[in-house]
Structure 1
């Protein structure tokens, strides 16, 4: 009996291991298209760009290894610093404004009124408009001669500015356009508002708290996880601003390069001037900046992000 038991103990792991091996092979076979795609279209280009950033690679020619020369040239490139300034300007104003307007719109669209689904659809529709069509639409609205906005201002006796033709107003105009399409963030805020238990508001009403006090001490603190998510995603998106300014200026960044954003200048260097090594260096600088800002947001989140149950 002892021998039979011993042999069964030995045979069982072999069967188990063979089944596990077959399951692993099957799993890797099913995952192989995704793994191959990840390696070919992401990992290889990623590590190649690190090497190219230290070379004079130009797509047409292999180039030579020049070390940190591309990075040194960038720090002496006036247009590079101009693009950094434009991008930071946009991010500093757009991200906070998108959070403020997004939360305010979500709170309005969370009220129990008749036709609420229609209002939510209307505010989400601009998000579905392609960025190129959005740029063309706003170029017409902001036209200084016959645009709807300046026409409305003129009706009230106000002389409207040359929105997209003025260095002073070009970036504020772009921020205005971008705020028009914050429907996705509003949907996320609505989901966050829906997760706040009604018992908190009922208890606050019993204690005599008014709407402002309930908003300040219940809604906003419990909405901070959603605000945190949109802050991170909004910051990353703001530093990658490309389609709207590129479409409106036909890639020129006019007037006076006031709409030349970082990714636009990166694109021009890589695909217009074929300075792919230079563009790769710009891409890695942008990567470091975004990673640094994201890490900073995560570190500070412990002070102001509040989760239910904590």
Structure 2
């Protein structure tokens, strides 16, 4: 008995002593450590947003109160640029075209991307290849996309019109007709963006538990009933993200594509607000006026985003209402 006690004493004596906790570890709770880690991970992105988004936006708002000449001189004019904007028919025409562009593009892009997401979710042979092919247009520069589609849609030598003539149909002036040019731009943008939002929808669809679908199958629910009662309600957060991001992209994006594909024509039929602002700033040197229009466009974008958030998250579409 004494030998066992002595052996236990020697084991305790030779066992390494537990290292004392560091002062920083003792003084910081787990919650504080998690907040610190989160802050360190977010810091690069937040810094980038401050330097490349927030600061330029503040400077743009400040610049909108000045008349800036091409020689770098600044003259304070107060709300003069905003008064000019209110009386500029070309600006409001570009806003009207932008509104039409957004109203058509966003629902079409949403539906096409959702349909593709449902399609590529199926476990069919070669589906990984199809996902890659559908996503590839998104990684191509919009300048390259514009050059490609300008070649395809050319009235005389374009591949589309050649195929139509071979089928016995008359070719169309796709980019030369005011009634067709905007539709072509929308179609090309859907082609470019659908792969990206398809992946977003696919990620949301894969988060839905399979047990729900198995229970619906046992209940005899058809595809449409399953989609309406399970897929669509549980896909609401993803739908909100896609709707918001596609709307913002439609309002503020597409400049490169418009510049290469139509240059705002014909007859300003594709002159979106972002393109008109670009023309005023870099075509005519009206940096103060362009800043005023840009600030107004940002306010419109914030208002539209708030409406989307209200309708899809905080309003009548909530589960509790």
- Normalising by structure 2, we get a TM-score of 0.81
Structure 2: stretches of 5+ with no match in the other structure: 1-22, 34-38
Q: Higher mean Cα deviation, 38-47 or 272-281?
A: 38-47
Q: CA deviation at 1:233?
A: 0.5
Of 231, 234, 244 in structure 1, the residue corresponding to residue 257 of structure 2 is 244
Residues matched between the structures, number:
284
1:84 aligns with 2:95: yes
Partner of 1:6: none
1:304 aligns with 2:311: no
Q: CA deviation at 1:194?
A: 0.3
Deviations 1:55-91 (A, max 9, x none): 1023623322212111111121121112112211111
Distance (whole Å) between structure 2 residues aligned to residue 212 and residue 42 of structure 1:
43
1:136 aligns with 2:136: no
Distance (whole Å) between structure 1 residues aligned to residue 294 and residue 177 of structure 2:
29
Partner of 1:191: 203
Quick one: structure 1 residues 89 and 58, their matched pair in 2 at CA, closer, same or farther if it must change by over 3 Å?
same
Quick one: structure 1 residues 63 and 180, their matched pair in 2 at CA, closer, same or farther if it must change by over 3 Å?
same
Quick one: structure 1 residues 192 and 62, their matched pair in 2 at CA, closer, same or farther if it must change by over 3 Å?
same
Q: Higher mean Cα deviation, 194-203 or 45-54?
A: 45-54
1:232 aligns with 2:249: no
Larger Rg: 2
| Contact 2:149 2:261 (C-alpha < 8 Å) held by counterparts | no
Report SS of the residue matched to 1:64: strand
Distance (whole Å) between structure 2 residues aligned to residue 133 and residue 169 of structure 1:
21
Partner of 1:218: 230
Structure 1: stretches of 5+ with no match in the other structure: 1-14
Quick one: structure 1 residues 38 and 209, their matched pair in 2 at CA, closer, same or farther if it must change by over 3 Å?
closer
Quick one: structure 1 residues 205 and 285, their matched pair in 2 at CA, closer, same or farther if it must change by over 3 Å?
same
Distance (whole Å) between structure 1 residues aligned to residue 169 and residue 106 of structure 2:
29
Partner of 2:188: 177
Distance (whole Å) between structure 2 residues aligned to residue 216 and residue 32 of structure 1:
41
Partner of 2:122: 111
| Contact 1:221 1:305 (C-alpha < 8 Å) held by counterparts | no
Alignment RMSD, CA only? Answer: 2.7
Quick one: structure 1 residues 231 and 157, their matched pair in 2 at CA, closer, same or farther if it must change by over 3 Å?
same
Distance (whole Å) between structure 2 residues aligned to residue 243 and residue 253 of structure 1:
11
Quick one: structure 1 residues 264 and 189, their matched pair in 2 at CA, closer, same or farther if it must change by over 3 Å?
same
Partner of 2:9: none
Of 285, 295, 303 in structure 1, the residue corresponding to residue 306 of structure 2 is 295
Distance (whole Å) between structure 2 residues aligned to residue 122 and residue 79 of structure 1:
39
